[in-house]
Chain A
Amino acid sequence: MFDKTLAELASGLENGDFSSVELTQTYLDRIKAEDSKYNSYITVTEEHALAQAKAADEARAAGNASAFTGLPIAQKDIFCTDGVKTSCASKMLDNFVAPYNATVVDKFNAAGAVMLGKTNMDEFAMGSSNESSFYGPSRNPWDTDRVPGGSSGGSAAAVAARLAPAATGTDTGGSIRQPAALCGITGLKPTYGRVSRFGMIAFASSLDQGGPMTRTAEDAAMMLNVMAGFDHRDSTSMQVEVPDYTADLNQPLKGLTIGLPKEYFPQDLSPAIAMQVQNAVKEFEAMGATVKEVSLPNTALAIPAYYIVAPAEASSNLSRFDGVRYGYRCESPVDLEDLYKRSRGEGFGPEVQRRIMVGTYALSEGFYDAYYKKAQQIRRLIKQDFVNALNECDVIMGPTTPHPAFKLGEKTSDPVAMYMEDIFTIALNLAGLPGMSIPCGQTEGLPVGLQIIGDYFAEQKLLNVAHQFQLATDWHKQTPDGI
């Protein structure tokens, strides 16, 4: 049962092959037996899950089932869950039981989904390897000596290890797409403003976006049907109609124009990755797509601009953690300043502290124009690059990451080397565009991800393109050894 996709599980439930309680119990048993190898969950919500499953079965028996009723998923531990610990993988929130639900959580509840638990991640979503988690790193199911990527690494590992059929993630600079690529699963970062950020603990508010992490594009469409939509509680939520994301999956790709940015195939790109991506593009050509070279000339500026915008917004967002209202408080503070400084110094890990300090510096008196304003101007150049390229093609393709999964500890001593892993994903967040990563090959037994980028609110097109690839290939069906 655990090797089925969400779509297959949905028909199993509908046909009465198994109940949601049986399905949920299967996953809970698997998590108990297997997750010590992957550390993909921070919290498993067994009782809560079984109660939701029972309610889903009752709803189905009463004739009130909808597409998602009784399907189990995992939530990244960045989404607030009423009455359930919501840690953001930080010591700062280790004792935080959220007093309300994120909109995304409310929507899954309303759809009748079952929450299996909360997944591991980089602390406050700051990282590309999951190694900054207060609860220890999650591990890559393809090789447990390697990272699952980050920040949504626990969600990616859980889906790859079949410890959840699907999970939510969030993506500020690649945090859905990069771990999806490294763990051989499908991940979608929607257009900025498509999925509500309410109750999704803020890292960089102008870049953060929640999205699905699944085995297939079809499953991602099912998840996005639940997640997407306007929310008056999110001031940057966009009032744009939500289509049925499963409706166009079977459209043929004849006539599709694929743009390949030359900047996404640099000289030093791993030849194995370049080859797998080229092979995937040939697959699309065989389906009737045409390919042309495009250019995103400001690509090299994306990481520098991001490492001002994201830390500046983070330093502002994370100022709320002060040891006063909720979260960690230091022992015996002597005065208010000591309370703030020690609660924050002891509660945040090193990567979070580094980013708060970079952001504080960039926003401090006299530096605003040179850093924050400059980065915002470069954002516009980067957006314009994509707008120009997307005038010449329907979708842009390239590698999701420059390398396959790296070893635990390999990049922890050099933050800048870690940041460079996000070279192909980060620009999208600055531009606010949607992007996907789907498995398109392997190198030395490790998955390789193909990134597909589309125009604003073109998630339906991305899902269609990804689904057609998955009908023609079986990279998404590969399973790590021992699972």
Chain B
Amino acid sequence: MALDRSDVEKIAHLARLQIDEQEIPQYTENLSSILDLVNQMQAVDTSDIEPMANSHDAVQRLRADEVTEQNNREKLQSIAPAAEAGLFQVPKVIE
């Protein structure tokens, strides 16, 4: 299945990935060949098959609604690229 340049640009935007202009042809070719590979699935009739998300068909375990984690804000924020006064800093989002 052939993707074109605009498909790759759209996917990269959805994935929030900045890709170099000169790399787009390579990604277009690679992604098209990967989609050719995965499209082999379409030859199989799976209409009566229940999708399997977990190999044991396990369901989400629940726990009692109690506080179990401690507040480690300082430790966790010490590795942030930019943090101040307990907040993560990002470029201005509201004018």
Closest to A330 in B: B18
- Let me know if B54 and A236 touch, CB within 8 A: yes
Verify if A354 is at the interface (C-beta below 8 Å from B).
yes
Would you give the shortest CB distance from B93 to chain A, in whole angstroms?
Answer: 5
Please list the residues of chain B having a beta carbon within 8 angstroms of any beta carbon in chain A: 7-8, 11-12, 14-19, 23, 27, 30-31, 33-42, 44, 46, 49-56, 58, 60-61, 63, 72, 75-76, 78-82, 88, 90-93
Would you give the shortest CB distance from A185 to chain B, in whole angstroms?
Answer: 26
- Let me know if A380 and B17 touch, CB within 8 A: no
Verify if A192 is at the interface (C-beta below 8 Å from B).
yes
Enumerate the 9 nearest inter-chain pairs by beta-carbon distance, A residue then B residue, closest first: A432-B55, A345-B18, A376-B51, A329-B81, A377-B46, A341-B18, A380-B52, A377-B49, A360-B15
CA distance A301 to B45 in the complex (A): 12
- Which residues of chain A in 293-337 are interfacial with respect to chain B, using CB atoms and an 8 Å cutoff? 298, 300-301, 303-305, 307-308, 315, 319, 322-329, 333-337
Please list the residues of chain A having a beta carbon within 8 angstroms of any beta carbon in chain B: 95-97, 99, 192-193, 206, 232, 235-236, 238, 298, 300-301, 303-305, 307-308, 315, 319, 322-329, 333-342, 344-346, 348, 350, 353-354, 356-358, 360-362, 364, 370-371, 373-381, 383, 414-416, 419, 430-433, 456
- Let me know if A308 and B38 touch, CB within 8 A: yes
- Let me know if B49 and A326 touch, CB within 8 A: no
- Let me know if B34 and A416 touch, CB within 8 A: yes
CA distance A59 to B58 in the complex (A): 40
Q: How many contacting A-B pairs (Cβ < 8 A)?
A: 167
Which residues of chain B come closer than 8 Å to A334, judged between CB atoms?
Answer: 91
- Let me know if A348 and B17 touch, CB within 8 A: yes
- Let me know if B44 and A357 touch, CB within 8 A: no
CA distance A380 to B27 in the complex (A): 31
Q: 24 A-B contacts, Cβ less than 8 Å apart?
A: A99-B75, A193-B58, A206-B54, A206-B55, A235-B60, A235-B61, A301-B40, A304-B40, A325-B76, A325-B88, A326-B80, A329-B81, A335-B93, A336-B91, A341-B17, A342-B18, A354-B30, A356-B15, A357-B12, A357-B17, A375-B38, A376-B52, A415-B30, A432-B55
